[in-house]
Amino acid sequence: MGSLQLKSIRKAFGGHEVLKGIDLEVKDGEFVIFVGPSGCGKSTLLRTIAGLEDATSGSVQIDGAEVGHVAPAKRGIAMVFQSYALYPHLTVKDNMGLGLKQAGAPKKEIDEKVAKAAGMLSLEPYLARRPAELSGGQRQRVAIGRAIVREPKLFLFDEPLSNLDAALRVNTRLEIARLHRSLKATMIYVTHDQVEAMTLADKIVVLNAGRVEQVGSPMELYNRPANVFVAGFIGSPQMNFIEAARLGESEAKTIGIRPEHIGLSRENGDWKGKIIHVEHLGADTIVYLDTEKVGTITVRLFGEHRYAEDETVYATPVIGGMHRFDADDRVINSGQ
Amino acid sequence: MSKARASFGRTAGVHVALIAYTLIALFPVFLTIANSFKSRNAIFREPLALPTPETFSLIGYQTVLKQGDFLGYFQNSTIVTVVSIALVLLFGAMAAFALSEYRFRGNALMGLYLALGIMIPIRLGTVAILQGMVATGLVNTLTALILVYTAQGLPLAVFILSEFMRTVSDDLKNAGRIDGLSEYAIFFRLVLPLVRPAMATVAVFTMIPIWNDLWFPLILAPAETTKTVTLGSQIFIGQFVTNWNAVLSALSLAIFPVLVLYVIFSRQLIRGITAGAVK
């Protein structure tokens, strides 16, 4: 239990179409992440699945049953919001139990389920507190606990980590990954952070301007991007895009090479250039250089390197690291 | 240092201005209460003096309590005010919720229409209101006053509350929907507690004009059984002779119920800070 099918979902606000026909299949137990720039419609799509927005057309099926006209509470879903959205006047325990209480579950069952979820998230000491007395990370754990208590078919996460600071974000991310393993539940997660997407997902759905650009596992998207948008969106620093004509390629319009797929040498190489900036990150060194042949490119070297600005160096692309894109920005022959 | 001194000077200036304004605003109240405890001659001889053992007199209060059914007047005023506030808050908040929460055709126009009453005084419609009340047989009933005051208070309530309700987090309402709360439960249990400070503001703004109103009680409900305090006090103001002791005593008494209501609402104003709902 816990599969989802979307068939040509469209959503328009007034005359403005936000979702332009989304088809998607999510299998039971999968962790699917919607990723894309802000305004691409990923949150709207999540709300449509939750039933908080009605699709203008198209069908949403959970476990094979059409839920287009089913109220959010009856869809068997639970949602975790970016702003936590805890009920300020209820204790942590009541916050977590409210959904079951509304559904008419007996008190004993509610208590058991709340205790179990609190145990999973180490929230036991805070059960009697109100949200105002908790820290941001604790609040988000309560919000996740509230979702777990409902034992939903689908977990929906709407940018749950965006309000947390960097250290808490990593911890909570691990916690969500652990939950997914132990609950074996289907989870759908919206984020604009590609690190979250790459680390958590079984399957990433890249959205742009209301359309699905590509669906695939994190490594598929990284190694075989279907088009220029996905190639540029996944991976950091961004992929270098070079006009194919500069490299004498006739069939392709754009050539993409990831910064980590370019080698650097002081003695010899394919593209001669001058270093304009170097970023030392410890584990990586990012070198920006201005080449005569292919323009400005970014090179990512692993470990520490003693390159300095204004040095002349030679860059060489790694064999098989090139992605070729045609005039419609679609991939022709992705790097093997 | 100079900065600190400058801000001290500014703070002092602000306080002087505020204290001066407070004194000016409270002076008539002080005068009313002080003079209500004085004998008739003392009121006229030295209106600004405090009551002394020689001039102290409760004659005004005795007159008020003996003449007419003042307890009844108080009761009428209280019923009209409290019921009107309750209706204004209930319907105002509901309309505001609908306007701020739901997307429907003509939403903005409807909001404007409901707020129009702020700009057009309801007294312009007195004749039509009176005709309507006569036709429905509501003249000389408290219901007539309650209906008029509810209509009078609604525009401001809708206007203020809908602005406040827009600030309530959508996520919170959506979380309620996913947890199976009905729209009414979301309104009463999630949204209303969060806009409590705004509700208190509206209640205060609505209450004062209703309690002090003379116009509508005089026109719609002048009967002895439905008189309000403000109207009741008028019997002491004659064309030729005015019983100042009684008038001042009646007005002093009339201050207290409003004061009590105000204290209740202003506590809500302060307490209603809702930290922790959303970050």
Strands A16-26 and A77-80, by their bridges, are unpaired
pTM of the entire structure? 0.79
The pLDDT of residue A334: 46
Work out the pLDDT band at A15, boundaries 50, 70, 90: confident
The pLDDT of residue A256: 93
Q: What is the pLDDT of residues B163-191, one digit of tens each?
A: 889 888 899 999 999 999 999 999 998 99
Give CA–CA dist B264/B183, Å, rounded: 29
Q: What is the pLDDT of residues A203-218, one digit of tens each?
A: 999 999 999 999 999 9
Residue A335 has pLDDT above 50, yes or no: no
User: Shortest Cα distance from A5 to chain B (angstroms)?
Assistant: 20
The single residue listed with the structure tokens 């969106």 is A233
Give CA–CA dist A47/A77, Å, rounded: 11
Give CA–CA dist B274/B199, Å, rounded: 14
Inform me whether the C-beta atom of residue B106 falls under 8 Å from chain A C-beta atoms. no
Please judge whether B276 and A133 are an interchain contact, meaning their C-beta atoms are less than 8 angstroms apart: yes
User: Shortest Cα distance from B84 to chain A (angstroms)?
Assistant: 28
Q: Which of B242, B230, B248 is CA-nearest to residue B61?
A: B248
Of B178, B189, B274, the CB nearest to A79: B178
The type of residue at A218 is P
User: Shortest Cα distance from A203 to chain B (angstroms)?
Assistant: 25
Average pLDDT (A65-72) is 91
Inform me whether the C-beta atom of residue A98 falls under 8 Å from chain B C-beta atoms. yes
Q: What is the pLDDT of residues A125-144, one digit of tens each?
A: 999 999 989 988 899 999 99
The pLDDT of residue B269: 66
Instruction: Measure Cα distances from B237 to A37, A134, B33, B247, B256 in Å.
Output: 74, 61, 18, 7, 21
Separation of CA B167 from chain center: 25
> DSSP code of A18?
E
Long-range contacts of B134-137 (CB under 8 A, 24+ apart): none
H/E stretch holding B252 reads helix B244-271
Inform me whether the C-beta atom of residue A165 falls under 8 Å from chain B C-beta atoms. no
Strands A154-158 and A57-62, by their bridges, are unpaired
Inform me whether the C-beta atom of residue B183 falls under 8 Å from chain A C-beta atoms. no
- Tell me chain B's radius of gyration from C-alpha atoms: 23
Strands A154-158 and A186-191, by their bridges, are parallel
The pLDDT of residue B5: 58
Specify the higher pLDDT residue, B200 or B150: B150
Nearest residue of A to residue B190, measured between CA atoms: A87
Instruction: Measure Cα distances from B89 to A163, B60, B97 in Å.
Output: 35, 37, 12
Choose from B107, B171, B271 for mutation: most chain A CBs within 10 A. Answer: B171
Residue B271 has pLDDT above 60, yes or no: no
CB contacts of A136 in chain B (<8 Å) are 279
Given a contact cutoff of 8 angstroms between Cβ atoms, the answer to whether A161 and A196 are in contact is yes
CB contacts of B195 in chain A (<8 Å) are none
Which tokens go with A320?
Answer: 């098989």
Residues A147-171: b if buried by 16+ CB within 10 A, e if exposed: bbbbebbbbbbbbbbebbeeebbee
The pLDDT of residue B147: 95
* Number of cross-chain residue pairs from A and B with Cβ atoms under 8 Å apart: 82
User: Shortest Cα distance from A174 to chain B (angstroms)?
Assistant: 22
Work out the pLDDT band at B47, boundaries 50, 70, 90: confident
Instruction: Measure Cα distances from B13 to A305, B1, B16, B21, B25 in Å.
Output: 63, 18, 5, 12, 18
Please judge whether B177 and A82 are an interchain contact, meaning their C-beta atoms are less than 8 angstroms apart: no
Give CA–CA dist A13/A47, Å, rounded: 14
Average pLDDT (B192-204) is 87
Of A47, A85, A134, the CB nearest to B175: A85
Please judge whether B278 and A84 are an interchain contact, meaning their C-beta atoms are less than 8 angstroms apart: yes
Give CA–CA dist A164/A134, Å, rounded: 13
Of B178, B190, B274, the CB nearest to A72: B178
Given a contact cutoff of 8 angstroms between Cβ atoms, the answer to whether A63 and A5 are in contact is no
Please judge whether A52 and B275 are an interchain contact, meaning their C-beta atoms are less than 8 angstroms apart: no
Q: Is B89 left (phi over 0), alpha (psi -120 to 50) or beta?
A: alpha
CB contacts of A96 in chain B (<8 Å) are none
The pLDDT of residue B53: 84
Given a contact cutoff of 8 angstroms between Cβ atoms, the answer to whether B110 and B101 are in contact is no
Q: What is the pLDDT of residues B4-34, one digit of tens each?
A: 556 888 889 999 999 999 999 999 989 989 8
Residue B239 has pLDDT above 80, yes or no: no
Nearest residue of A to residue B175, measured between CA atoms: A85
The single residue listed with the structure tokens 């941001």 is A136
Given a contact cutoff of 8 angstroms between Cβ atoms, the answer to whether A6 and A60 are in contact is yes
Residue A163 has pLDDT above 80, yes or no: yes
**Maximum Cα interatomic distance, chain B, rounded to a whole number of Å:** 73
User: Shortest Cα distance from B108 to chain A (angstroms)?
Assistant: 14
Please judge whether A136 and B279 are an interchain contact, meaning their C-beta atoms are less than 8 angstroms apart: yes
The pLDDT of residue A144: 93
Instruction: Measure Cα distances from B254 to A42, A60, B140, B208, B259 in Å.
Output: 60, 63, 21, 12, 9
Choose from A44, A75, A86 for mutation: most chain B CBs within 10 A. Answer: A86
Inform me whether the C-beta atom of residue A88 falls under 8 Å from chain B C-beta atoms. yes
Which of these ranges, A61-65, A121-125, A294-298, B193-197, has the smallest mean pLDDT? B193-197
The answer, yes or no, to whether the previous bond of A237 is cis (omega within 30 of 0) is yes
Residues 6+ apart with CB under 8 A from A89: A130, B189, B193
Inform me whether the C-beta atom of residue B105 falls under 8 Å from chain A C-beta atoms. no
Which tokens go with A208?
Answer: 């742009």
Residue B105 has pLDDT above 50, yes or no: yes
Helices (H) and strands (E) in chain A, counts: 8, 19
Percent of chain B scoring above 70 in pLDDT = 94
Given a contact cutoff of 8 angstroms between Cβ atoms, the answer to whether A54 and B177 are in contact is no
User: Shortest Cα distance from B265 to chain A (angstroms)?
Assistant: 20
Q: What is the pLDDT of residues B209-227, one digit of tens each?
A: 999 899 999 999 988 889 8
Average pLDDT (A29-33) is 95
ipTM for this prediction: 0.84
The single residue listed with the structure tokens 């004194």 is B23
Alpha helices, DSSP H only, in B37-104?
40-45, 59-66, 70-101
Q: Which of residues 41-80 of A touch B (CB under 8 A)?
A: 47, 50-52, 71-74, 77-79
Q: What is the pLDDT of residues A255-309, one digit of tens each?
A: 999 999 999 999 998 999 999 999 999 999 999 999 988 999 999 999 999 999 9
Given a contact cutoff of 8 angstroms between Cβ atoms, the answer to whether A11 and A195 are in contact is no
